[in-house]
Structure 1
Amino acid sequence: MKIGLETESYHLQFMTGRMDIFEFIRKTAELGLDGVMINIVKWPNLPGWGTLASFEPEYLARVKAEIQKYGFFAEIDTNGTDPARLEQVIEVAHSIGADIIRTYVCMGTYDEDRMNQAPDNIRQIVPLLQKYRIKLALENHEEELSSEVIRMIDEVDSPWVRAHCDVGNAMMAWEDPVHAVRKLAPYAVTTHFKDHIIVHDGDDYLVCGVPVGTGNIDLEQIFRTLVESSTLTRINVEMCYPYAVSFKREPAAGGVSAVGEGAFAVRPTPYDLSLIKPLDYYDPPQELLEKMIEDQAKGVEQSVQYTLALRDKYCR
């Protein structure tokens, strides 16, 4: 099983201009990993598209050369199902040698119309996926239940359209992570491997990212499920810390109706509430930025070590 790293894991360094995609690729190699997942969703404070500064051929050729320098696999993270946009992303993926593209349907809130339109949109780009031998992976991205992702895949009915199994996002839709992974594993061609807790900020309960192996999710059981019940050859660490987000569906939408137990156990906030509210973690104030950048970097190292240890236990 190869282990990759998603650019989101260093989002604070990217957003402050301290890291670019070339430095990220080199850092991934230093961590002893096997590949990169490059997020090209538009990010605050970044030119171009996410962690790629440009879609120009010369720039993309440089990115591809850096990836090949380390013998890495490459994947791309995007969002939406607009056919014209996805065609552009497929061309970018082909240019840098990426063979899997992650996307998701809803944009911050559950949108039934988007969900219903998605299969028709995706069918339009299947010929281009087939031409370049690239797979599109639909993610359970905070708003979508695992069953809804599977329904869309079944409606498209193409070997080039499968699932992206995010092992933590099910919680935002009130779905138990182990349950969601068991359902998605047979469809999965890629993953985000992460960890979450539930926090209370005085106003509401939130899902909060933490370094992999330090949260509520039964990641050992999930890793074993991915090894035994899928054809995956890669698992991508996406350490979403510091980060917190509201629930996106109504309680019980995914089978869980309240916080308090298992993956939904409530734990202290990573940072004192008098210093920062959890919903401000992603773009923190200047006075906390240096500490949170340092904490994020340490969290990546901890997450990688934990994931590699699971690989050693279950894949060798």
Structure 2
Amino acid sequence: MSENSKRQLKLGMHTYTLHFFGFCESGDSRDDRPGRVMSLEELMDKAVEWELDGLHITKVDLVTIDDENLSKVKKDAEDRGLFLEFNSSFDSENDSRINCTIEEALEIGHKLACQLVKFSLDVKRDRILYGSCMNPEIMKQLVEKYEIFHGAIPMIEEYGMKIAIENHTDTFADEVMWLVDKLNHPLIGACVDTCNPMRVIDNPYYTMERMLPKAYCCHFSDDIIVVDSLGVRDIGAAHGQGSLDCPKMVQQILEKSPMDTIIFENEIALERFDEPIEEARVREMKACEDSVRYLRDVLKLGVRNR
């Protein structure tokens, strides 16, 4: 076993894991949004209780982005020994509250002393996905994003934060890596999501192999893939209870990437449209706690509990 594969990975949580509690993206219709029932400070206390090393947060979680609040959040995290990463979108179709310009996202990340800022590209795709990787219409959008990131390089260098571009539900691994390779900057890398490839009919294993060498972040989830008379779909699950090979993915991360942190994420959805939000929150919290136990006790992730 190589020295690289022996290193200890820190364990953080994406706040989307508890989106029924009002964190992260929770729907852009005010009638559909789950109400906030837990503060970011309370979530930090939970993270300490679960022996996590940090949190991956959004503008929604911050509530306000004035200097006074950002200073408080930064101190709250430091007092608990938690790292912070900031998650941003350019034009989210799910929840516009998480949208930022690149300058705004970098400024927020800097004021929070974040070790990394992650961006979704929000590429708009035609309904036809098969064979659509890097088609001309997509490449036009990627060139526009190249100009945005390239123009922000002086600010990125001034703040010295790593930037991670994600294979969100709208991009193939090859598209993200085309952009990362063209930008060709040591502070700009990828964020590889383990389940998003399936949303664009991409291969999760190929995605990991393709993106990990230049990945600074991983959104680590484990969905259940269901094939039945209703079609093919993925259902959010706790880690170790889904269809992906979590130990294999961790080994890939250790062997192929420079990362020292894994960000876990659960994607629990309503079981039915009329499911009471209180019931959904119970299922979501249980999945979160099951994931923490599996990731810490079985896969041995996290340094706080060592």
> In the alignment, which residue of structure 1 is the partner of 2:110?
94
Which one-letter code corresponds to 2:56 in the other structure?
Answer: M
TM-score calculated relative to the size of structure 1: 0.79
**Contact 2:225/2:242, CA 8 A, preserved across alignment:** no
Deviations 1:55-93 (A, max 9, x none): 100011110011001111110111128x98110111111
SS of aligned partner of 1:51: helix
Q: Which runs of 5+ in 2 are unaligned?
A: 1-8, 23-33, 92-98, 127-136
Q: Which runs of 5+ in 1 are unaligned?
A: 41-49, 244-270
The one of 25, 29, 44 aligned to 2:44: 25
The answer to whether the aligner puts 1:164 opposite 2:172 as a matched pair is no
Separation in structure 2 between the aligned mates of residue 108 and residue 240 of structure 1, nearest angstrom: 22
The one of 69, 78, 84 aligned to 2:88: 78
**Contact 1:178/1:218, CA 8 A, preserved across alignment:** no
Q: Percent identity, please.
A: 24
**Contact 1:101/1:136, CA 8 A, preserved across alignment:** yes
The one of 266, 282, 286 aligned to 1:294: 282
SS of aligned partner of 2:226: strand
Separation in structure 1 between the aligned mates of residue 297 and residue 258 of structure 2, nearest angstrom: 20
SS of aligned partner of 2:57: strand
> In the alignment, which residue of structure 1 is the partner of 2:142?
115
**Contact 1:227/1:314, CA 8 A, preserved across alignment:** no
> In the alignment, which residue of structure 1 is the partner of 2:256?
229
Deviations 1:141-178 (A, max 9, x none): 01211111111001111112100011111111112212
Report which stretch shifted further, 6-15 or 105-114: 105-114
Alignment of 1:44-193 (within 5 A): 50-80=60-90, 85-106=101-122, 109=125, 112=138, 113-193=140-220
> In the alignment, which residue of structure 2 is the partner of 1:257?
none
Provide closer, same or farther for how the CA distance between residues 144 and 65 of structure 1 changes in structure 2, counting only shifts above 3 A: same
Question: Aligned-pair distance for 1:104?
Answer: 1.5
Which one-letter code corresponds to 1:288 in the other structure?
Answer: P
Question: Aligned-pair distance for 1:24?
Answer: 1.3
Provide closer, same or farther for how the CA distance between residues 138 and 9 of structure 1 changes in structure 2, counting only shifts above 3 A: same
SS of aligned partner of 1:195: coil
Separation in structure 1 between the aligned mates of residue 114 and residue 38 of structure 2, nearest angstrom: 21
Separation in structure 2 between the aligned mates of residue 306 and residue 184 of structure 1, nearest angstrom: 25
Separation in structure 2 between the aligned mates of residue 220 and residue 155 of structure 1, nearest angstrom: 32
SS of aligned partner of 1:142: coil
**Contact 2:123/2:141, CA 8 A, preserved across alignment:** no
> In the alignment, which residue of structure 1 is the partner of 2:293?
305
TM-score calculated relative to the size of structure 2: 0.81
**Contact 1:164/1:191, CA 8 A, preserved across alignment:** yes
Separation in structure 1 between the aligned mates of residue 58 and residue 111 of structure 2, nearest angstrom: 15
Provide closer, same or farther for how the CA distance between residues 314 and 52 of structure 1 changes in structure 2, counting only shifts above 3 A: closer
Question: Aligned-pair distance for 1:202?
Answer: 6.2
SS of aligned partner of 1:225: helix
Separation in structure 1 between the aligned mates of residue 287 and residue 77 of structure 2, nearest angstrom: 23
SS of aligned partner of 1:210: coil
Which one-letter code corresponds to 1:241 in the other structure?
Answer: I
Separation in structure 2 between the aligned mates of residue 314 and residue 137 of structure 1, nearest angstrom: 21
Separation in structure 1 between the aligned mates of residue 269 and residue 150 of structure 2, nearest angstrom: 36
**RMSD across aligned C-alpha pairs, in angstroms?**
2.4
Report which stretch shifted further, 115-124 or 105-114: 105-114
Greater relative contact order (Cα < 8 A, sep 6+): 2
Separation in structure 1 between the aligned mates of residue 251 and residue 302 of structure 2, nearest angstrom: 7
**Contact 1:140/1:146, CA 8 A, preserved across alignment:** yes
SS of aligned partner of 2:179: helix
**Contact 1:200/1:206, CA 8 A, preserved across alignment:** yes
Question: Aligned-pair distance for 1:310?
Answer: 4.7
